[in-house]
Amino acid sequence: MARFFLDTHVAYWLVSENPKLDDKLRDDILYPSGNQYLISDFVILELTHLNQLGKIKIPGGSKTLFGAFESMNIEKELITDSTFGILENIPILTIGGSKHTDMMDRAIIAHCIANKETLISHDSKFPCYRTYGLKLLEA
């Protein structure tokens, strides 16, 4: 059984039924496949923040998110000390001419590295973190 973390984009596409999420991946998440899907608190924080800013729409807010993920058997994995140790040691990379300072992105990456789990993401910056131990499946 493989374990996968969902990045913010993928988690949002899943709960909003957005067609950007690959049907095969959606089916694997929603129907028992033998794989385990997880999210970190950082994803919930980022989705809540984006909803507050009006960049995404989540009727019912974070309370709805918790219920949706629970109904899909997506587990929330707790943040540990090792996540923060990794976060402090990952360099702030320059990607495409800009420093990648997005704290939530970096926290999600650190959480996955700390737990030695594969992150499913659509973010084009994330492959740059493979050399620091990120296992990545591009969505």
**Is residue 126 very low, low, confident or very high in pLDDT (cuts 50, 70, 90)?**
very high
Tell whether 139 is covered by a domain: no
Return the higher-pLDDT residue of 65 and 89: 89
Q: What is the pLDDT of residue 139?
A: 85
Using alpha carbons, list the distances in angstroms from residue 16 to 8, 57, 129.
12, 9, 28
What is the Cα–Cα distance from 20 to 35, expressed in whole angstroms?
21
Q: Is the model's pLDDT at 63 over the cut of 90?
A: no
Q: What angle do CA 10, 112, 138 make, to 5 degrees?
A: 40
Q: Is the model's pLDDT at 105 over the cut of 90?
A: yes
Tell whether 105 is covered by a domain: yes
Angle between helices 41-53 and 8-15 (to 10 degrees): 70
Tell whether 84 is covered by a domain: yes
Average the pLDDT over 118-127 and give the result: 96
Half-sphere exposure at residue 95, Cβ-oriented, CA atoms within 13 angstroms: 13
**Is residue 36 very low, low, confident or very high in pLDDT (cuts 50, 70, 90)?**
very high
pLDDT tens digits, 11-30: 999 999 999 999 999 999 99
What is the Cα–Cα distance from 93 to 4, expressed in whole angstroms?
24
Q: Look up the domain containing 110 and give its range.
A: 3-121+124-128+130-134
Tell whether 57 is covered by a domain: yes
Q: What is the pLDDT of residue 107?
A: 95
Q: In what order do the strands lie in the sheet with 36-40?
A: 75-77, 36-40, 3-6, 118-121, 135-138
**Number of compact structural domains in the chain:** 1
67: domain CATH number? Answer: 3.40.50.1010
Q: Is the model's pLDDT at 136 over the cut of 90?
A: yes
Q: Provide the residue type at 23 as one letter.
A: D
